[in-house]
Amino acid sequence: MDMTLWNLFEILGTGAFAASGALMGIRKRFDFFGVLMLALITAVGGGILRDGLMGNLPPLALRFPRYSLLALVTAAAVFLSPRPVQRLERLIQVLDAVGLGAFTAGGGLLAIQRGFGEPFMVVAFGLLTGVGGGILRDVLAGEPPLVFRREIYALASIAGALLLLPLNRRMGVEAALYACFALVVSLRLFCVLRGIHLPVARKG
Amino acid sequence: MDMTLWNLFEILGTGAFAASGALMGIRKRFDFFGVLMLALITAVGGGILRDGLMGNLPPLALRFPRYSLLALVTAAAVFLSPRPVQRLERLIQVLDAVGLGAFTAGGGLLAIQRGFGEPFMVVAFGLLTGVGGGILRDVLAGEPPLVFRREIYALASIAGALLLLPLNRRMGVEAALYACFALVVSLRLFCVLRGIHLPVARKG
Amino acid sequence: MDMTLWNLFEILGTGAFAASGALMGIRKRFDFFGVLMLALITAVGGGILRDGLMGNLPPLALRFPRYSLLALVTAAAVFLSPRPVQRLERLIQVLDAVGLGAFTAGGGLLAIQRGFGEPFMVVAFGLLTGVGGGILRDVLAGEPPLVFRREIYALASIAGALLLLPLNRRMGVEAALYACFALVVSLRLFCVLRGIHLPVARKG
């Protein structure tokens, strides 16, 4: 299985997640170290939560620190010149969707491969990998988690993760990975472009 | 050992915890997904923290998703018609005490059964199972944890958990479970009815 | 290896961390139980996070509750008479640096001893042990993590942790432990005395 393209998706997604964490840290007046840490946690925090709940320890992000280092370098670059990154908001939103898709598919498939292949667990681990880092970012920044408040973000992740089990069984790992990825990314971008949101309850 | 009654306690407690998470999410203007997630984390988050610190992985809430699904269904119902639930505040407080008792007893006993039977660990795992979900709810909602601020809530859990070890040794699992449960619930409800609080320090 | 002196450092550091957690809880109007819990989590939370990510479960702080009990006793004393402790601010800052040094060195060395001796992991586990408790304290208190915002705190921990691997290989465990400790404490105190901070980004 040729993973070059897949690695590219993971790299783009890691960079986008790290950039969103770094921008949040800058907005909150964190110092250089704080910005780096928030970016790191945003980028690899979902995978760390997933590995923690899987008992896959130490987490991959510590054992194979490539993506952690990428997140730190990205954060340093954003810290040094945040303005151009902020101007690329639309591009970052696209790359963020790529990250959501790649992390969801990778996390869900890891669950299957480690023997946690019940549907509920596959979806839970895919979702946690996809949105966990952003939740940690928001909690550490003192913000209500964005994923609980706005737009079709987590639902895109869940919809994609639901594809993993049946496709993996019938068409193999690679097809499952890319189909899940494609569904998450396209659902997410479709809802961003159309401004589609979930309803909020009447305030009780 | 007949666990039918016990399962009923767990079901009632899970529903009450989920309802408190859902109401918090509605108050914070979370969307439908956010309300469901906050309810889920409130209901099973304590058990997930406990399983994480026990190395009991993946957590029971993922491996046996019955209670997770119950929490999600409860949350959806609360989301669709929050007003009646809010009017039942007193009932929810009683059911919440049932949940505190059932989760404390279940968590502490699981510690004993998995060989973590030192008194400090039994109490810690009982307490964490009982109050961990509520703490996660408050952190995710951006509120100071209620359990750190008000009333005899955690102390009731600790008092009950202290019964588990001696009763389990002398009278067996079932007696320990129900005695712990009964002490937690009655202490908690007594303090709710009487409005008994812990002291707060003079502000330094 | 004579660990008497080392235990003294750990005791002083645990007390200082617990005191900082207790003072925060008092400031936030937590009740007696909340103050105790926040102090406990501040003192042993970093080690619990480390053990969780190492798969060293249940965490040492639960299996050997000496330090947890020390934190609880410290917190009770601070709760009963916070004013004298607040007046000793400078002393607490010194003891806090002792704790940062001892926890960093102990956490990093534990990583090496458990076979997680890659440089990135040693530094990550040392840093997490040193600053994790303070981050949990701030998140639970609803504050942005102090370590992300001010002064050379985490950097001192990282610098010290970088010494552990080479010194452990060439000069043995004890030398590595004390050299790491000494570097962290002196860097931290130097920056406190001189008021040295990290830069904050231009607000984008």
pLDDT at B204: 47
* Phi and psi angles of residue A89, each rounded to the nearest 5 degrees, phi first: -50, -45
Cβ <8 Å between C200 and A86: no
Q: What pLDDT was estimated at residue A204?
A: 47
CA atoms within 13 A on the CB side of A70: 18
* Domain parsing of chain B, residue ranges: 4-194
Give pLDDT tens digits for C16-32. 999 999 999 999 999 99
How many Å apart are CA C116 and CA C103, to the nearest integer? 17
Chains A & B: contacts with CB separation below 8 Å: 86
User: Is A61 an 8 Å CB contact of chain B?
Assistant: no
Helix, strand, coil abundance in chain B, percent, nearest 5: 80, 0, 20
Q: Give the residue on C whose Cα is nearest the Cα of B52.
A: C52
Instruction: Report the alpha-carbon angle B95-B96-B98, nearest 5.
Output: 60
Q: How is residue A181 written in tokens?
A: 């990825």
Question: Residues of C with CB below 8 A from B201's CB?
Answer: 26, 32, 35, 79-80, 82
Tell whether B83 is within 8 A of chain A (Cβ). Answer: yes
ipTM above 0.85, yes or no: yes
C134, pLDDT greater than 60: yes
What is the distance in angstroms between the Cα of B15 and the nearest Cα belonging to chain A? 19
**What single-letter DSSP state applies at residue A29?**
T
The Cα of B123 is separated from the nearest Cα of chain A by a number of Å equal to 22
Please indicate if any CB of chain B lies within 8 Å of the CB of A200. Answer: yes
pLDDT tens profile A76-125 = 999 999 888 888 888 888 999 999 999 999 999 999 999 999 999 999 99
Q: How far is C4 from chain A (nearest CA, A)?
A: 30
Return the exposure string of B26-63: e unless at least 16 CB atoms fall within 10 Å of the residue's CB, then b: bbbebbbbbbbbbbbbbbbbbbbbbbbbbbbbbbbbbe
Please give the single-letter amino acid code of residue A100. L
Token couple for B82: 């929050």
Instruction: Indicate left, alpha or beta for C40 from its phi (over 0: left) and psi (-120 to 50: alpha).
Output: alpha
How far apart, in whole angstroms, are the C-alpha atoms of residue C114 and residue C68?
A: 23
Residue B171: which residues within 8 A CB-CB, separation 6 or more? none
Among candidates A23, A38, A58 on the partner chain, residue whose Cβ is nearest the Cβ of C53: A58
Asked if the C-beta of A48 comes within 8 angstroms of chain B's C-beta atoms, the answer is no
Instruction: Give the Å distances, CA to CA, from A121 to A117, B57, C117.
Output: 7, 12, 32
**pLDDT, average across residues C160-173:** 96
Q: At what angle do helices A154-171 and A89-113 cross, to 10 degrees?
A: 40
Q: How close does chain B come to A115, measured CA to CA in Å? A: 11
Tens-digit pLDDT profile for residues B142-180: 999 999 987 689 999 999 999 999 999 999 999 999 999
Q: In chain A, which residue ranges form alpha helices assigned H by DSSP?
A: 4-27, 32-54, 60-63, 66-80, 82-87, 89-113, 119-141, 154-171, 173-194
Calpha distance A108→B111 (Å, rounded)? 29
pLDDT at residue C27, as a whole number:
94
Give me the pLDDT at residue A74, please. Answer: 97
Ranges B114-123, C100-109, C190-199: which has the least confidence: C190-199
Q: Is the Cβ–Cβ distance between C101 and C181 less than 8 Å? A: yes
Q: Answer for the pair A43, A133: CB distance below 8 angstroms, yes or no.
A: yes
Q: How far apart are CA B170 and CA C112, in angstroms?
A: 43
Q: Which residues make Cβ contacts (< 8 Å) with residue A156, sequence separation at least 6?
A: A97, A100, A183, A184, A185, A187, A188, A191
Nearest CA in chain A to C142: A142
Residue C58 amino acid letter? P
Q: Report the amino acid identity of residue C10.
A: E
Q: For residue range C45-92, list pLDDT tens digits in order.
A: 999 999 999 999 999 999 999 999 999 999 999 999 988 888 888 888
Whether C84 has its CB under 8 Å from any CB of chain B: the answer is no
CB neighbours of residue C84 within 10 Å: 10
pLDDT < 70: residue spans in chain A: 1-2, 151, 202-204
The burial of C83, by beta-carbon neighbours within 10 Å (0-12 exposed, 13-18 middle, 19 or more buried), is given as exposed
Please name which of C55, A161, A53 lies closest in space to residue B60, comparing C-alpha atoms: A53
Average pLDDT value over all residues in chain B = 93
Instruction: Retrieve residue C21's tokens.
Output: 């957690």
Q: How many residues are there in chain B? A: 204
Q: Are C67 and C75 in contact (CB under 8 A)?
A: no
